[in-house]
């Protein structure tokens, strides 16, 4: 059966997300992921999913190493792992300065060292049940678990976009998590993950290369594309990391115009300026047949686990999400 995952970053109420992930479990999806953002507490939602599913892996995409302490991340991961009977995957990332500082009131600094040290702390807590740690970011005198983890090792995936962090994934993680990824970027990303793995003396084939794929599969290709443009305009305007990724795909001039319009308060104009070709290059749109063909192209480009991400909102969003889940189900 084909490897494929499902992710949500909002747009649905938490109980509706649980219903959708239960459907994905019944249809044979390998994994389901819940974002951090604004769509509800990811660990709570995944716990509810754990109690309603049987086989599907449940992961965070991602947990920010800035907005939770390393020990609380470790406890949350171990707790969901218990409820899911060993089906949890911890996705970690640095998030973005434009989120961490204005949204959470925290200082965004030493992002890569913080991520590395957080991974070390979480692994030690799971393995030993206690940790004392002095690093360049964390200074923990002592923290110990007052319960027994189900597993002493939980897979950790790391979010990455550009070469430096992709190679970190290859060095320290069981998987790399990307998003808004073109086919060309998928090829180079897989190569960087492999390079990092080799440098650490690891077999590159042991590191999963996954990407979230924004998805709006419908009967009308034009309508599906229109449904994604708001998401792309928002990301292009607010997140320099992803704007650069999209610009590198050949849309630099267009995205600067999108950014200017959005930041000037002309959101409708910004959305209209997003090129159809850009949407088609970084998302799954159109018919179910086209989506399946595109997924196969990503697999050939080096993505070992594509993760569809329905971008739905509004009155019929749950039904639309379920339509996408059925359309992209593994064969």
What is the average per-residue pLDDT within 90-96?
Answer: 96
- pTM, two decimal places: 0.96
pLDDT above 70 as % of the chain = 98
Contact between residue 236 and residue 331 where contact means Cβ atoms under 8 Å apart: no
Average pLDDT, the chain: 94
What are the extents of the domains in the chain?
Answer: 5-218+287-327, 220-285
Model pLDDT, residue 315: 82
> How would you class 228 by CB atoms within 10 Å of its CB: exposed for 0-12, middle for 13-18, buried for 19 or more?
buried
Determine the longest span between alpha carbons in the chain, in angstroms: 58
13-27: pLDDT as tens digits: 999 999 999 999 999
Contact between residue 92 and residue 62 where contact means Cβ atoms under 8 Å apart: yes
pLDDT at 63 over 80: yes
Class of domain 5-218+287-327: alpha beta
From the list 153, 164, 142, the residue with the least C-alpha distance to 176 is 164
Model pLDDT, residue 219: 53
Q: Between helices 183-199 and 288-300, what is the axis angle to 10°?
A: 30
107-130: pLDDT as tens digits: 999 999 999 999 999 999 999 999
- Residue 8: left (phi > 0), alpha (psi -120 to 50), or beta? beta
DSSP class of residue 280?
Answer: H
Q: Between helices 183-199 and 163-172, what is the axis angle to 10°?
A: 50
């Amino acid at each position: 059966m084909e490897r494929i995952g499902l992710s949500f970053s909002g747009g649905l109420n938490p109980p509706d997300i649980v219903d959708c992930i239960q459907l994905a479990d019944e249809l044979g999806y390998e994994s389901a992921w819940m974002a951090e953002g604004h769509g509800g507490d990811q660990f709570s939602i995944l716990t509810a999913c754990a109690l309603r599913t049987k086989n599907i892996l449940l992961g965070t995409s991602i947990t920010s190493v800035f907005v939770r302490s390393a020990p609380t991340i470790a406890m949350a991961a171990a707790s969901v792992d218990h409820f899911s009977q060993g089906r949890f995957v911890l996705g970690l990332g640095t998030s973005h300065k434009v989120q961490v500082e204005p949204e959470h009131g925290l200082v965004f600094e030493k992002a890569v060292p913080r991520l590395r040290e957080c991974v070390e702390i979480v692994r030690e807590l799971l393995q030993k049940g206690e940790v004392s740690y002095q690093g360049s970011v964390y200074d923990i005198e002592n923290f110990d678990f007052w319960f027994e983890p189900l597993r002493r090792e939980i897979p950790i995936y790391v979010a990455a976009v550009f070469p430096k962090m992709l190679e970190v994934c290859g060095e320290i993680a069981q998987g790399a998590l990307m998003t808004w990824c073109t086919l060309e970027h998928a090829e180079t990303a897989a190569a960087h993950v492999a390079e990092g793995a080799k440098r650490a003396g690891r077999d590159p084939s042991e590191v999963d290369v996954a990407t979230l794929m924004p998805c709006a599969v419908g009967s009308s290709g034009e309508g599906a594309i229109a449904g994604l443009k708001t998401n792309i305009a928002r990301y292009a305007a607010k997140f320099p990391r992803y704007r650069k990724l999209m610009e590198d795909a050949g849309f630099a001039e267009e995205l600067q115009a999108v950014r200017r319009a959005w930041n000037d308060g002309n959101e409708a104009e910004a959305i209209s300026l997003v090129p159809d070709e850009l949407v088609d290059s970084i998302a799954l749109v159109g018919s179910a047949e086209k989506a399946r063909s595109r997924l196969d192209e990503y697999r050939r480009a080096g993505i070992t686990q594509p993760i569809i991400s329905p971008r739905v909102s509004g009155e019929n969003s749950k039904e639309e999400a379920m339509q996408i889940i059925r359309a992209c189900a593994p064969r």
